[in-house]
Amino acid sequence: MAMGIQVCQRTVSVLMTQAGIYGLPGPTRVKRLRGVVTADDLVNRKFHRIRPNELWVTDITQHRTREGWLYCAAVLDAYSRRIVGWSIDSRQDSTLVVNALDMAIRNRRPEPGGIVHADHGTQFTSWVFGEKIRSAGLLPSFGTVGDGLDNAMMESFWSSMQIELLNRKKWKTRVELANAIFDYIEIFHNRQRRHSALGYRTPIEYELRSENEPIPAVS
């Protein structure tokens, strides 16, 4: 109209597209991850489950010792909040997460169709991790890139471990910290720590009682 020429909005849009011109702020561009295994978000922040092994969530945390960083990958069953698999190493690679998932599969022997939910970290989008999931008959699921709420249940566990263990002292060696993490997961969290969402029962107690008398968890 400024030059006395009348055109419809559709024509302007087509011409701009052909010329590679976009109005500010421009089209939303979705970051594509190339050469990695990805999957849809099958959880959508709905973590409540009524049976074991329907949904596992997994992630990595890290903490410094005087020797250097130590990394821990863990797999948590959303049904009971129980850590069913974990792995500790001085390197943060795909082997770390595969070992944690392998431990969970061997311990739980899940039926086909369960979901393994993670973020888009390179360890989780690696071919070997995806193949481990599929070979067990499970389904991979990934949250939105950079959105911690999409794996909020796992983030909650890390937060508790940070407060109750990791930040309570300065750790001298990786072995010292690794032993402490083992005790925290297997002795304290799984067997002693009571959760309000489980009727103030521990994860193992909740699972044992639910085998004979199902107790719905509070979401």
CATH of domain 55-192: 3.30.420.10
Please report which confidence band the pLDDT of residue 8 belongs to, taking 50, 70 and 90 as the band edges.
Answer: low
Better-scored residue on pLDDT, 5 or 82: 82
Provide the token pair at 203: 């994860």
| pLDDT tens for each residue of 52-71 | 999 999 999 999 999 999 99
Q: What does the mean pLDDT of the chain come to?
A: 85
pLDDT at 28: 41
Provide the token pair at 178: 């690794």
pLDDT at 33: 44
pLDDT at 10: 63
The total of other beta-carbon atoms located within 10 Å of residue 31's CB is 7
What is the CA 182 to chain-centroid distance, rounded?
A: 20
| pLDDT tens for each residue of 20-57 | 665 544 434 434 444 344 568 888 888 888 999 999 99
Q: At what angle do helices 94-108 and 127-135 cross, to 10 degrees?
A: 10
Provide the token pair at 87: 């792995």
Please report which confidence band the pLDDT of residue 82 belongs to, taking 50, 70 and 90 as the band edges.
Answer: very high
Please report which confidence band the pLDDT of residue 151 belongs to, taking 50, 70 and 90 as the band edges.
Answer: confident
Kind and range of the H or E run holding 159: helix 152-164
Q: What is the DSSP letter of 42?
A: S
What amino acid is encoded at 101 in this protein?
A: L
Domain range summary for the chain, segments of one domain joined by + = 55-192
In DSSP terms, 142 is beta-bridged to 118
